[in-house]
Amino acid sequence: MFRIRAVESPPDAGGLRKVWHRGARHAELVSEIDDTGRVARHEFSLFDDVVIWERGRGFVTGSAQLEGSTRGAANVAYDLTTDGERMVRIAAALQPYAGRDRIIQHLRELVVTTKEGGQPLQDLGAVTGSNRIPEAVLRLSSAPPPQSRKGLVWISIGLVVIAIALALMALK
């Protein structure tokens, strides 16, 4: 994968946020990240090959009904068992990736583990920071904002100038 552009959604009601990567040549990765920064689900499509990994379940493969973009699991014809040839093609696509995106690296490592005969059911650790708001930030945000005295001084000066101008106009 190369020329990747990532987009992230805010967390949903369950605390999962979606991170969408789209690469050149019909490669697409949608990952669901929990509030601790760990991957709950990957959905990767390359042309019509689709591989979905879910924590606790492992990999499922299938074929996209519309080539190049699954746009959700509803558009996938699933294989009865994990298709080894699809996994080899997916591994070949991810193998040259040398970037630093930890989400793509996570999927790559899971695919390599499966190619070596394993079926990873658990994630490989956090791929992003937590999306929880630290307590210190919450305390700061609930405190009243500091009052600025500079604005009050300028307002007072402005009012004095207006009062003097009105007094001078009244004398004429």
Residue 94 included in any domain: yes
Q: Count the domains in the chain.
A: 1
Residue 15 included in any domain: yes
Residue 30 included in any domain: yes
42 pLDDT higher than 70: yes
- CA angle in degrees (0–180, nearest 5) for 22-123-91: 50
pLDDT, residue 133, reads 46
Each residue's pLDDT tens digit, 134-165: 454 444 444 555 566 667 777 888 888 898 88
- Across all residues in the chain, what is the average pLDDT? 77
Domain residues for the domain of 100 are 5-115
Residue 126 included in any domain: no
